[in-house]
Structure 1
């Protein structure tokens, strides 16, 4: 059963469950102060009196206390009114009070998916948003599962007429007419001939660009969704949804189908996007093929690059193992996935007053209040319904480890017991990537779990409360960003001599538009919930963030090539988290991440707007690279297609990173590799830069010259970097960086250096 009327279902379910009292929220109330009776000396007294006159209609909590409205703040200067905790019925009573104007639910202060634009530093006052006019008129082609065009994220308020240069079309299909396109969605096409060819008897359930899954809708709104106020995922991540480039256009190419997905359809979609005239291609999908000449995305991306189109591709979700990036396309930007500084919390409060911030995604607006807390060492495995049959009606403590049931199984078993809620103790970081939390509970760490178990074991009548739907921002409980455990790691098997992934962007639990008739959460085993906005994780979500930033840069610098845009993002990327320490890797127990995990670092759109220097590359530079890969003539031709000149083959691409490979079988050998690079000054005039080197362990770095002097804008200067390094038999990865620092200026141009084996052991 799929439920759309979420509030009614949640409320009735909790009355039946009998472990939460009347739903209560904090409301901000606007009052007409001119209606205040003269008997009151101040607004504060009037507000307090008004609240006191409201008869509580709430149920009693489990400890017998009668709830009632409670004043939180009084406002009497810029705003006339107050904030108060009350039930919906109490609010209705308040509406009849003299002077009442309006009220709305209090939400965390997240003016901006709802938070990632702010996390990336995007703002309306300065930087790349106003400089690019929010990506105005740049067309992002999204090759995915289609789009749900009715989503508010795809309204076209505030957008100008469609550019005359646009050659695309809005193709009519099943449940999709031309009126569903607008100034935001300016193109819609679908490609399923490959599906039908492989399965002649299949019937396509939705023969149009309409998205029956949700994935394509999600990534499109991340890249270029318009502003939508007051969205959330069942109370989590509340705020204003907006894409990275909210005034960019969207052209949708549906190539993923419920009935199957084939490379031929993906190639057709990308090919048509190039013909239509997109500026950026966003491709959140990958294939199992390894060799570039057999990779349809790599081949199509080369053609797109020739036309000046930047191609952004997801790194894949095969991490955290070394060498799991399959899309190692030198002429595309490969996006890794990182966390954001947002935590979806359940606040666990013990009867002794101890408060612990745990993790939960339970999709109900509920409060588990002052219920008994129960711990039994045998039952704590929570690994069978029979074991939990004798559990009391109390909040039960479950311990999840490699020796016990999976977290999802524990939830299933506990939900069949008498326990109205649970505290799960686990150190499994993958839990926080899942939105599946159908039972009222909270996950805490083993360290916190010891304190909870101690209290439950040593107190005569232990109790606990849990508050759900809490969204916490900032540095706690973990700094951000951190590399997602599932994000694929380099080096790329297709070509390990270039750094992949290139860069990292937010990709863990990103809120964006979705198919509103797809189940995205559950309460218990038989109530399925849908939502207009969904939280999704993966490099699929990181990729459209990069696509959106590329669109902003293209709008601000229309003359820049795809390589220039990539360089600007990479050389200004941030290798540190929000505590100013090196970004950590979730997949290695929060050790320092390497460039093979995160590329150059977390994308920084505002700094990328003005990078100072760029590493540019032409089509011929990429041809020279392909010619040097020892492919056959036919294999080479399959990538670069047209007539080409292979007279100067070179793997030394003018790329903003340096990868030195070694063979672990050649233990304790010293190798030397020399790189040549050309930098272009894109600053506003003459500039001088000096190099700063942070060498990898057991290596020697020489840069010549150590100073670059540019007399004017667009001038080019060359330098060489030579690295001497030792080999290791244990597949050790060492990394460092070089940074060109502008004298008496603001620019720093950083490039990673990696010493690594070419492939896993």
Structure 2
């Protein structure tokens, strides 16, 4: 998945205790005059009024772009002092600083329901290849000269350079992500994508190195709506679990215009609450990653087997014999590694540098374990020996087994949820995300000059975009909600240790294209989110049941297992005419006094004449334990004496503070910031550097909300 990296950090702080900083109203002149770009969201019928107001009252503010379809609003540039006043203009709903986006590269077609070489067929026997369907790909551009992509390419736009050439960057900061995504959707040559005859419209919103901004992404969504694409794929996102970002809002608007919007959920798993925007967009289809059929290496040490994840760019782990192994710390100095596997810790050096040093020392292979508890993803270049990763937990245990031999065994795995795949649910709206999962591990596809296997939810999303193109061809009259329902209603539930993954891990399950194309029943919405409940509450979601056959059908709603404090009110038996629809309430009556758990989730089963649909449901009884702090960033400002920081507060904060300590002695230095009653959303401040702030400090960021407190530690350096 392409990650949104928050790099624009705009900041001003309260008076500190041990230190004295200027308060917000007395911010330094250079801060007030600092230039910034923001996105202004406006009430639709007030757009011209707001634009005229800015033109007349703020001649120094430059309007950079006007959005009238994906978003009702403006992109403007001006001083922070004047931009802050824009909140007061009647009709302005939200002002959001422009965000930087960055690409993060982290036998699937057969697995999801058929062999693309022979094509897919609908229930009437019509062959489906995506012909006539326009799929927009917002990404790093594509190599439209690639032999597998040039047949289906039909133009596009480059919103990064503002021209009509969406070619991948090939010289300065070369990219390959967009071509890989496009190939999964519609490669038509040596490789064949999910919808090999679909038309690809490319929108290059991310430039050299895979970086861009929310401006360029919004402009690309706007262009895609104007071009009337049928399906839109965005394999990009961020680590902030917030549904109110402009790109999320814009995707929902695109769906309202009739476009099926597909986005990656993120690569920040496996923890809960890690799905990132715009994967939080309510009407879009957010996609997590599962594994296709893979041969996975496990190392056998000390009577335990530890799963290895091979790094991007590394040769396959083909070591089949038992070998001695050695621990070489961070890899700064590796000696006497001939015939051994070298185990290294993450940090200090790049993965490629570590692996090359081990290779030069004669190593047979390299294992790098994380400096955090969980696992991670990585990539290497220019290495001829296999390089794999372990979680920090497994790596530390491995070090206790030094002096033993390391064997390798291989296991066939399929339909395992990728550890990196971001999990939901969504804060504020409490919705289920991802909506479904698709293969996203070791996916072979097109890149400039050839082919490459990559992994990430970036690779999972285009499988769903391709499937949506086939459904659009089969049912051009269907709206995006019906297509989303067909994809989700027919998913295969994935299991771990005999139990299904949770709804906030897999949504409706793993994509099955052929079942989606042949479905005789649609139920929508395809996921039931009842929200945050307190005390005694009775809530409902209206579900439409659509009979796609030419005969009447009877549907039975099965009541979930009994739980004290939760009572379901379901229609039980429902009769639907041939080709007809009926909308019925699905209700849950809850008494939180009888419930110990906060999160309640599962699958509601609906059976009808041989068909079975499992609707994921989710609700909370009490304030959930979601992260109170997300996306903290700190950086040098535009001026020599200015520093900026920002964070995202999903639920706001009763108290927020940043405390500085001496990193060597842990002696208290003072408060960098302290606030009370901070509203939810993006929190950003700027500070003016003081001479006695020079150096590096250990920072403890804390946020209190209700009876919960979250903390985050990092190092802040003032030069």
Deviations, residues 411-430 of structure 1 (Å, cap 9, x unaligned): 3542342x341364869874
Asked if the contact 1:287/1:295 (under 8 Å) is kept, the reply is no
The structural deviation recorded for 1:395 is 1.8
- What's 1:279 paired with? 230
* Pair 1:134 & 2:79 matched: no
Asked if the contact 1:693/1:737 (under 8 Å) is kept, the reply is no
Could you tell me which of 239, 247, 261 is aligned with 1:296? 247
Listed as ranges, the matches of 1:597-676 within 5 Å are 597-616=505-524, 655-662=525-532, 669=535, 671-676=537-542
- What's 1:216 paired with? 178
Q: Where does structure 2 lack aligned partners over 5 or more consecutive residues?
A: 1-106, 170-174, 629-719
Asked if the contact 1:358/1:444 (under 8 Å) is kept, the reply is yes
Q: Where does structure 1 lack aligned partners over 5 or more consecutive residues?
A: 1-114, 157-183, 195-205, 229-240, 517-531, 584-592, 617-654
Asked if the contact 1:611/1:748 (under 8 Å) is kept, the reply is no
- What's 2:415 paired with? 480
1:286 partner SS: strand
Distance across 1 between alignment mates of 2:377 and 2:421 = 14
Listed as ranges, the matches of 1:21-32 within 5 Å are none
- What's 1:192 paired with? 160
Deviations, residues 583-613 of structure 1 (Å, cap 9, x unaligned): 5xxxxxxxxx311122111111111123333
* Pair 1:330 & 2:197 matched: no
- What's 2:480 paired with? 562
- What's 2:424 paired with? 490
In structure 2, do the counterparts of structure 1 residues 444 and 366 end up closer, same or farther at CA, with 3 Å as the change threshold? Answer: closer
1:570 partner SS: helix
Distance across 2 between alignment mates of 1:337 and 1:727 = 37
1:153 partner SS: coil
Normalized per residue, the structure richer in strand is 2
- What's 2:255 paired with? 305
The structural deviation recorded for 1:185 is 0.9
- What's 2:143 paired with? 148
Listed as ranges, the matches of 1:16-415 within 5 Å are 115-123=107-115, 124=118, 127-128=121-122, 131-156=126-151, 184-192=152-160, 208-212=165-169, 213-228=175-190, 241-258=191-208, 260-286=211-237, 294-299=245-250, 301-324=251-274, 325-327=276-278, 328-343=280-295, 360=310, 363=314, 373-375=323-325, 379-386=326-333, 388-389=334-335, 391=336, 394-399=338-343, 411-415=355-359
- What's 2:434 paired with? 501
Distance across 2 between alignment mates of 1:369 and 1:702 = 54
- What's 1:46 paired with? none
The structural deviation recorded for 1:748 is 1.1
Could you tell me which of 622, 627, 640 is aligned with 1:760? 627
1:755 partner SS: strand
- What's 1:534 paired with? 452
In structure 2, do the counterparts of structure 1 residues 597 and 406 end up closer, same or farther at CA, with 3 Å as the change threshold? Answer: farther
Distance across 1 between alignment mates of 2:272 and 2:401 = 42
Distance across 2 between alignment mates of 1:497 and 1:366 = 41
Pick which of 431-440 and 678-687 moved more: 431-440
In structure 2, do the counterparts of structure 1 residues 557 and 693 end up closer, same or farther at CA, with 3 Å as the change threshold? Answer: same
Distance across 2 between alignment mates of 1:191 and 1:302 = 20
Distance across 1 between alignment mates of 2:320 and 2:112 = 37
In structure 2, do the counterparts of structure 1 residues 137 and 701 end up closer, same or farther at CA, with 3 Å as the change threshold? Answer: farther
Distance across 1 between alignment mates of 2:177 and 2:481 = 28
The structural deviation recorded for 1:752 is 0.8
Distance across 1 between alignment mates of 2:208 and 2:596 = 44
In structure 2, do the counterparts of structure 1 residues 750 and 558 end up closer, same or farther at CA, with 3 Å as the change threshold? Answer: same
Asked if the contact 1:283/1:312 (under 8 Å) is kept, the reply is yes
Using the size of structure 1 for normalisation, the TM-score is 0.57
The structural deviation recorded for 1:509 is 2.5
- What's 2:575 paired with? 709
Larger Rg: 1
Distance across 2 between alignment mates of 1:690 and 1:425 = 52
1:608 partner SS: helix
- What's 2:79 paired with? none
Distance across 2 between alignment mates of 1:442 and 1:193 = 37
In structure 2, do the counterparts of structure 1 residues 685 and 497 end up closer, same or farther at CA, with 3 Å as the change threshold? Answer: farther
* Pair 1:543 & 2:493 matched: no
Normalized per residue, the structure richer in helix is 1
The structural deviation recorded for 1:126 is 6.1
Tell me the number of residue pairs that the alignment of Structure 1 and Structure 2 aligns: 502
The structural deviation recorded for 1:298 is 2.1
Deviations, residues 7-35 of structure 1 (Å, cap 9, x unaligned): xxxxxxxxxxxxxxxxxxxxxxxxxxxxx
Pick which of 249-258 and 128-137 moved more: 128-137
1:415 partner SS: helix
Asked if the contact 2:557/2:572 (under 8 Å) is kept, the reply is yes
2:236 partner SS: coil
Distance across 1 between alignment mates of 2:160 and 2:350 = 38
1:750 partner SS: strand
In structure 2, do the counterparts of structure 1 residues 501 and 714 end up closer, same or farther at CA, with 3 Å as the change threshold? Answer: same
- What's 1:438 paired with? 383
In structure 2, do the counterparts of structure 1 residues 722 and 599 end up closer, same or farther at CA, with 3 Å as the change threshold? Answer: same
In structure 2, do the counterparts of structure 1 residues 755 and 575 end up closer, same or farther at CA, with 3 Å as the change threshold? Answer: same
1:718 partner SS: strand
- What's 1:175 paired with? none
Could you tell me which of 502, 507, 512 is aligned with 1:594? 502
Deviations, residues 286-341 of structure 1 (Å, cap 9, x unaligned): 36787656513422x34432332111122223333332333322221111222222
Asked if the contact 1:615/1:656 (under 8 Å) is kept, the reply is yes
Distance across 2 between alignment mates of 1:570 and 1:331 = 13
Listed as ranges, the matches of 1:660-699 within 5 Å are 660-662=530-532, 669=535, 671-695=537-561
Asked if the contact 2:310/2:389 (under 8 Å) is kept, the reply is no
In structure 2, do the counterparts of structure 1 residues 144 and 700 end up closer, same or farther at CA, with 3 Å as the change threshold? Answer: same
Distance across 1 between alignment mates of 2:347 and 2:155 = 52
1:481 partner SS: coil
Distance across 2 between alignment mates of 1:321 and 1:359 = 18
* Pair 1:513 & 2:513 matched: no
